[in-house]
A and B are shown apart, each in its own frame.
Chain A
């Protein structure tokens, strides 16, 4: 396999695609949003439980490519136990990572497993796949009532 392609489809990503974590519905979530990428038809529902500003449970459902599913799965594992502010901070850093902005080794370190998605930066057409779950979470936390779309 080509090395760029191997960077994009790392084993961790293939694993999360095959058996996504937290791929379920939460009954009575505190926050909920639907995300949609009209270009590829990906849809994602994000459910969040928050107690005292801490994300206590986070899950998703929907259909999408390996990149968007793995990103949602990794996000859900990573953000449980974080505060809403921390979650937004991680999203900003993650966004910098996948869009190829300079970020320090220290900051990448903080992203933990999410760093496997760095390969996306070589595939501009796939950045939206990697960030759909995050934009949707953002809108869930902000209680935007609208469906989130990757297209303005």
Chain B
């Protein structure tokens, strides 16, 4: 089996070696080698993750936290070891603060529901930004069914930066929560979350960070950020789908009621009364996605083996190269020119609809995303229906970007 050793030598990353870790990159699409530029939707999986899941079902499968038999013990161990890996990856103080969920979406819903139902009152305000993914808008709106809360929105400027000059004045004594995206999936903007968190804390307002597009591109340290909650998805960081994480400070998680009831989240049940299990199990009702958790652990090992700093540096090079290269394409306009960007570049042509770009480019073997990217308010902000978006992972190359640019120029010819 090929393993990624010595990929991080003095000359930088050995991308050819890394590419060999991803079996799907050998696929051809319409007779062309696959160029996968839809990493913000989901990244591809390295062989080590695929084999870990295979090995789980081949050699370990059983339910966790329940049996005293051998298989149950080894699968429970593997599951809890993955929790420790996550804790270390985001530098959380304790594994009690690492809750497994289905993904970023469920993590945010958990907080909106559990924290919001308990601590929000009619007339309270929460703050989000104009570049949130729908998963950080709708859960808060759903709360309005029960609580008459107001949602305030931090605006964005023409370049895709948050407008934070008046940020502090948004806080009133009714402000109860700030929920903010770290890296925008449609604009690529990296928000100054640490600064905004510290301002929120001055007003005793807890903060949730949607790190779905951050954790695979930049080092994330929850203690350094001092965020109170952080949400992420395994499938956007080389792990399986259907698994994600909610990090929460223990003091908040302890005060919050369970999100769902069932097995595993209880310590004692009678028909009169149930005593809830301790953290983190209080928030993990039912049989979890065991292979997902263990697969996510393998994905974190994979990232750690290369090094998140090395990944960040390499991808920054790709972003810079792609930005310059796309700017040479006649009529192409980049949507989002924020001061700091990571992972994704959105663009538009005046006369060619993103949908047509998507279909044409597919025939060049290139997978990119067209549409509103689950950020309709961002599209409305710029008065556009949709964009085309390229988004990168560590296995992408400058040569692939060159092919993209050539293909876009071909499309322009057709629509001339």
- A: which residues have CB within 8 A of B? 1-2, 4-5, 8-9, 14, 17-18, 39-43, 63-67, 123, 125-126, 129
Question: Is there contact, CB below 8 Å, between B385 and A66?
Answer: no
Question: Is there contact, CB below 8 Å, between A67 and B356?
Answer: yes
Interface string of B353-395 (1 = CB under 8 A from A): 1111001100100000011100010010000111000000000
* In the complex, chain A residues whose CB is within 8 Å of the CB of B371: 39-41
Any chain A CB within 8 A of the CB of B271? no
* In the complex, chain A residues whose CB is within 8 Å of the CB of B269: none
Question: Is there contact, CB below 8 Å, between B385 and A42?
Answer: yes
A43 to B372, CA, bound (A): 13
Q: Give me the 3 closest cross-chain CB pairs, A-B, nearest first.
A: A41-B385, A65-B353, A65-B355
| Closest-CB distance, A146 to chain B (whole angstroms) | 19
* In the complex, chain A residues whose CB is within 8 Å of the CB of B384: 41
* In the complex, chain B residues whose CB is within 8 Å of the CB of A4: 363
* In the complex, chain A residues whose CB is within 8 Å of the CB of B355: 40, 42, 64-65, 67, 126, 129
A126 to B355, CA, bound (A): 9
Closest residue of chain B to A63 (Cβ to Cβ) is B385
Closest residue of chain B to A66 (Cβ to Cβ) is B356
Given contacts A5-B360, A8-B359, A129-B355, contact A66 B30 (CB under 8 A): no
Closest residue of chain B to A36 (Cβ to Cβ) is B385
Question: Is there contact, CB below 8 Å, between B353 and A64?
Answer: yes
A14 to B370, CA, bound (A): 20
Any chain A CB within 8 A of the CB of B70? no
* In the complex, chain B residues whose CB is within 8 Å of the CB of A43: 385
Given contacts A41-B386, A43-B385, A64-B353, contact A5 B370 (CB under 8 A): no
- Pick from B30, B359, B415: contact of A14, CB below 8 A: B415
| Closest-CB distance, B371 to chain A (whole angstroms) | 6
- Pick from B30, B360, B370, B415: contact of A40, CB below 8 A: B370
